[in-house]
Structure 1
Amino acid sequence: MTTVIELESVSVLRPGKALLTDVSWRVEDDQRWVVLGPNGAGKSTLMQVVGAQMHPTSGTADILGERLGRTEVFDLRTRIGHSGTAIADRIPPAETVEDVVVSAAHAVTGRWRETYDGDDLERAHQILGELGIRALSHRTFGTLSEGERKRTLIARALMTDPELLLLDEPGAGLDLGAREDLLMSLEILSTAPGAPVVVMVSHHVEEIPPGFTHVLLLRDGRVVEAGPIEQTLTAAALGRTFGMRLELNKVGQRYAARRAAFGHRAG
């Protein structure tokens, strides 16, 4: 196994607030992680650190064998695919889906004078096909549904064949059907031979795709629990993470959580 992410006692401090405090976390190349926590838990800050977008205030962060602060982050970032709202907000509404994806080869949003060869376009079409949205190639980004946008952004993140794929709340804002379509795509993606290591941020256990192997629980910038999902994702640990008593159920490879009824002891 190869270590993809290794954080040792990482803290991120800003005036008047600690965004992360003493976070230690290791991700190996045969693992697929989901990061769970409430709003303000530090999930987005954690993703910025592991995405080489932010340096820790203290501690060490090794990403794909490179230590932040001792490596050229612009080169490191080319090895990391990232899908999230911040990227979606920069994409021109009139950009076609094909161009949204292929322009990732030049790390730009909004195709202008760049030139792309046949291999670039072939790869873009291949990825769109694998995610079930090839038929959208000539649609404009602004006309897509939220689910179609999320899958387009994942396709863009995969365009450069990253070693690490970071998905920041890919299920946010989706209706039931769109969420289920997305989870099916993520299950196929995460278990495919040669797939990148995937780290996905979410608020909801219902959004954990089958095939994900590990979970990191965050609250107030600190790790509550981290480890193999079967042993780590319990009602007690989830309750400590979200600050309430919860019931946790599993059917097949899917999870569901709800507040525990008064007088009922969560299992």
Structure 2
Amino acid sequence: MTDVLRAEDVHVVREGRPILREVSLTVRAGEHWALLGANGAGKSTLLSLLGARVHPTRGRVEVLGRRLGRVDLRELRAHVGHVDPRHAPAGPLRLRDVVLTGLTNSPALLPRVRPTLQQEARADRLLATLGLGELREARWPTLSQGQRGRTLIARALMPEPRLLLLDEPATGLDLPGREQLIESLDALRREHPRLATVLVTHHLEELPGHTTHALLLRDGRALAQGPAADVLTGDQLGKCFDLPLELERHGGRWSVRIRHRS
């Protein structure tokens, strides 16, 4: 399988404080990684490295076969889908237009860039895949938080990236919104079998059942990584979050609770 991401012995230091230490990771085409850890563990910093937004202080990072430090980051970012739930379009755009802004990674449609009929059709297909086909003419301010989150995933996929990074995509969602998001991610997996994803979350309940691999971060170090079935265990998560935890899996989905002594 083709390597989409490769990080080797990565260190990140900010203002003299280590944020990441000796982290290595390889993500291949078609793999779906979960990145978990407590607040301050380094998840967002690692995702910024993988998304070609920042450079490591030390170590080697390759994104889509290109090494950071030897490539224009802005050009490389155009080939990576990065979903930030805090993104805000410029004005009350229609859903289809929000998705089309993914072509230029801008908050609004640029006057000098007119989408082609093929690009408009792709935006409609993505919205349909994500369960939003009937809302493509709706305006951004009228959407629920869950509908906005799924729209931003469609936006990130407009340039046909090989890699999709999701930074806590279920933030602020109620139960129906979370479940609709997870169903949409599963539909994307079926329709784009070569797409690789990395999803950051604090909560196992937010992980899709098709998650293939996981990385646990604690204090900036990789505590465990590998196939999800091996990494997502009560013992491993207990070490990661410093709690006695019990983990269960039903229908492909995970749930966790504190283990009480009898």
Normalised-by-shorter TM-score class: over 0.9
CA gap 1:23/1:259 in 2 versus in 1, 3 angstroms? same
User: Which residue matches 2:2?
Assistant: 2
Structure 1: tracts of 5 or more residues without a match: none
Q: In structure 1, how many angstroms separate the alpha carbons of the residues matched to 2:110 and 2:68?
A: 32
Deviates most, 233-242 or 183-192: 183-192
Alignment-mate amino acid for residue 219 of structure 1: R
Q: In structure 1, how many angstroms separate the alpha carbons of the residues matched to 2:26 and 2:65?
A: 12
For residues 14-25 of structure 1, the aligned pairs below 5 Å read 14-25=14-25
Deviates most, 28-37 or 43-52: 28-37
Structure 2: tracts of 5 or more residues without a match: none
CA contact (8 A) 1:92 1:141 kept: no
Q: In structure 2, how many angstroms separate the alpha carbons of the residues matched to 1:184 and 1:121?
A: 24
Deviates most, 190-199 or 38-47: 190-199
| TM superposition shift of 1:215 | 0.5
Q: In structure 2, how many angstroms separate the alpha carbons of the residues matched to 1:104 and 1:26?
A: 26
CA gap 1:93/1:248 in 2 versus in 1, 3 angstroms? farther
User: Which residue matches 2:138?
Assistant: 139
Q: In structure 2, how many angstroms separate the alpha carbons of the residues matched to 1:93 and 1:245?
A: 47
Alignment-mate amino acid for residue 22 of structure 1: E
User: Which residue matches 2:103?
Assistant: 105
Q: 2:94 aligns with which of 75, 93, 96?
A: 96
Deviation readout 1:68-94 (Å, 9 max, x if unpaired): 0012222211110010134x13x2241
For residues 186-265 of structure 1, the aligned pairs below 5 Å read 186-261=185-260, 263-264=261-262
User: Which residue matches 1:37?
Assistant: 37
Q: In structure 2, how many angstroms separate the alpha carbons of the residues matched to 1:241 and 1:141?
A: 38
| TM superposition shift of 1:50 | 0.4
What SS does structure 1 have at the residue aligned with 2:19?
strand
User: Which residue matches 1:79?
Assistant: 79
Q: Let me know the Cα RMSD of the aligned residues.
A: 1.3
| TM superposition shift of 1:17 | 1.8
Q: In structure 2, how many angstroms separate the alpha carbons of the residues matched to 1:5 and 1:106?
A: 23
CA gap 1:61/1:178 in 2 versus in 1, 3 angstroms? same
Q: In structure 2, how many angstroms separate the alpha carbons of the residues matched to 1:255 and 1:194?
A: 22
Q: In structure 1, how many angstroms separate the alpha carbons of the residues matched to 2:101 and 2:211?
A: 29
Alignment-mate amino acid for residue 56 of structure 1: P
Q: In structure 2, how many angstroms separate the alpha carbons of the residues matched to 1:22 and 1:204?
A: 24
CA contact (8 A) 1:165 1:196 kept: yes
What SS does structure 1 have at the residue aligned with 2:41?
coil
Deviates most, 50-59 or 238-247: 238-247
Query: Are 2:168 and 1:169 aligned?
Result: yes
User: Which residue matches 2:66?
Assistant: 66
Q: In structure 2, how many angstroms separate the alpha carbons of the residues matched to 1:139 and 1:195?
A: 31
What SS does structure 2 have at the residue aligned with 1:199?
strand
Aligned length: 261
Runs of 4+ in 1 over 4 A off after TM superposition: none
User: Which residue matches 1:125?
Assistant: 124
Alignment-mate amino acid for residue 166 of structure 1: L
User: Which residue matches 1:150?
Assistant: 149
What SS does structure 1 have at the residue aligned with 2:137?
coil
| TM superposition shift of 1:154 | 0.2
TM value normalised by structure 2: 0.96
CA gap 1:141/1:193 in 2 versus in 1, 3 angstroms? closer
Q: In structure 1, how many angstroms separate the alpha carbons of the residues matched to 2:123 and 2:194?
A: 16
What SS does structure 2 have at the residue aligned with 1:177?
helix
What SS does structure 2 have at the residue aligned with 1:70?
coil
